[in-house]
């Protein structure tokens, strides 16, 4: 019964099974003054044919974005591209997507996964970034290593999305207390606001949103130098409010046939993820 309830709740946060179903959702966001990031759901593929299918979905998505003139980029996970199969195979798949994005004058964001993938994800990103400047990366504020990683990314001019982090991690790897996670998020956000290349500050946390706004104003950091990011289906009223205040707002829009296993794992993995969903069902 609980599993069925979790699946039902997850549907609110997915824009459809296909790119054709997702396009009207992105168009509506664009009309509301927001940009988007389209994510073809999927992860941890074990067969090369599944990775190839994911690549084709992203190539099609980039084509559709271009043809529909959407204000949207794409975001993907390395395990979806075959990282668990072979690093070079995964890298070659990413090259194809980055090349297609460049042809469409678009960008690609590499999502961060659990901590066992962090080092491999960053290493692969750094290799890719040498030749493809249209690719960005994600840093999770709750990891102890993130300050060092972020400093290196800032130095090379990489575009970074900063989030708290949603995976269950042990204390030796990640900060456990939310007050400390928020503190580290603020410190990393300060680095990005001062020296980053158009950082994306991904959060639904009112205290962090207010802090970013206050910090930017106090340090004369104009609104055009960064953007807020939130999830599709979460706090739409707050998203619209930030746009009205003149801030750049990007909405992360997942779609695809793999939404059930993906959200099932996210909601089952960490109780904070369930609380997040329930807390935001009726918030604006």
* pLDDT digits 0-9 by tens, 146-195: 999 999 999 999 999 999 998 889 999 999 999 999 999 999 999 999 99
Active-site residue identified among 39, 149, 159, 161: 161
* Bigger pLDDT: 50 vs 271: 50
Residue 256 confidence (pLDDT) above 70: yes
Residue 280 clears pLDDT 80, i.e. is over it? no
The DSSP element (H or E) to which 37 belongs, if any, is: strand 35-40
Residue 110 lies in a domain: yes
In the residue annotation, 111 being an active-site residue is answered as yes
Q: Is 125 exposed, middle or buried (0-12, 13-18, 19+ CB in 10 A)?
A: buried
For residue 6, give both structure tokens.
Answer: 């979790």
Whether 1 maps to a domain, the answer reads no
What whole-number distance in Å separates Cα of residue 235 and Cα of residue 64? 27
The model's confidence at residue 278, banded by pLDDT at 50, 70 and 90, is low
In whole angstroms, what separates CA 99 from the centre of its chain?
20
User: Would 272 be classed as within a structural domain?
Assistant: no
Does residue 270 have a pLDDT over 60? Answer: no
Asked whether residue 18 is assigned to any structural domain, the reply reads: no
- Whether 153 is in a domain gets the answer yes
Q: Where is 201: in which H helix or E strand? A: strand 200-202
Secondary structure element (H or E) that encloses residue 73, with its range:
strand 72-76
Residue 212 included in any domain? yes
Pick the catalytic residue: 111, 149, 250, 266?
111
2-16, 108-122, 153-167, 212-226: segment of lowest average pLDDT: 2-16
Would you say residue 274 has pLDDT above 60?
no
Of the listed ranges 13-17, 76-80, 184-188, 262-266, the least confidently predicted one is: 262-266
Residue 271: pLDDT above 60?
no
| C-alpha dihedral (80, 85, 90, 91), degrees to nearest 10 | 150
Does some domain include residue 282? no
pLDDT, tens digit, 9 for 90 and up, residues 79-107:
999 999 999 999 999 999 999 999 999 99
Assigned domain for 19 exists: no
Residue 147 falls in the annotated catalytic set:
no
Q: How many CB atoms lie within 10 A of CB 264?
A: 14
- Nearest in space to 140 (alpha carbons), one of 158, 159, 176, 164: 164
- Count of domains forming the chain: 1
198: CATH = 3.20.20.220
Alpha-carbon gap, residue 244 to 284, rounded angstroms: 14
Count CA atoms closer than 13 A to 66's CA, side-chain side.
Answer: 14
Question: What confidence score (pLDDT) does residue 7 get?
Answer: 55
What average pLDDT does the segment 228-237 reach? 93
State the pLDDT at residue 106: 98
With H, G, I as helix, E, B as strand and everything else as coil, classify residue 167. coil
> What range defines the domain where residue 63 resides?
46-228+235-248
48 or 8, greater pLDDT? 48
- Inform me whether the pLDDT recorded for 272 exceeds 70: no
């Amino acid at each position: 019964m609980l599993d069925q309830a979790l699946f039902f709740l997850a549907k609110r946060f997915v824009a459809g099974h296909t790119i054709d179903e997702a396009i009207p959702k992105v168009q509506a966001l664009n009309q509301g003054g927001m940009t988007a990031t389209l994510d073809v759901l999927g992860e941890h593929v074990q067969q090369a044919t599944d990775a190839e299918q994911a690549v084709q979905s992203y190539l099609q998505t980039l084509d559709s974005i271009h043809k529909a003139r959407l204000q949207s980029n794409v975001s993907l996970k390395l395990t979806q591209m075959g990282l668990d199969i072979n690093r070079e195979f995964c890298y070659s798949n990413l090259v194809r997507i980055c090349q297609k994005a460049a042809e469409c004058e678009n960008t690609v964001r590499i999502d961060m996964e659990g901590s066992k993938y962090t080092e491999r994800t960053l290493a692969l990103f750094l290799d890719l970034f040498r030749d493809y400047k249209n690719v960005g990366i994600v840093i999770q504020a709750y990891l102890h290593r993130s300050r060092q990683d972020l400093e290196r990314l800032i130095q090379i001019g990489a575009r970074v999305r900063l989030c708290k982090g949603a995976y269950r991690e042990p204390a030796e790897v990640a900060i456990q207390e939310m007050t400390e996670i928020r503190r580290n998020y603020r410190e990393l956000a300060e680095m990005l606001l001062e020296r980053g290349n158009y950082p994306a500050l991904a959060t639904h946390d009112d205290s962090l949103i207010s802090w970013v706004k206050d910090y930017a104003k106090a340090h004369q950091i104009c609104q055009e130098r960064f953007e807020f990011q939130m999830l599709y289906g979460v706090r739409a009223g707050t998203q619209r409010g930030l746009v009205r205040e003149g801030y750049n707002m990007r909405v992360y829009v997942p779609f695809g046939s793999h939404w059930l296993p993906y959200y099932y794992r996210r909601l089952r993995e960490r109780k904070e993820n369930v609380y997040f969903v329930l807390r935001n069902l009726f918030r604006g």
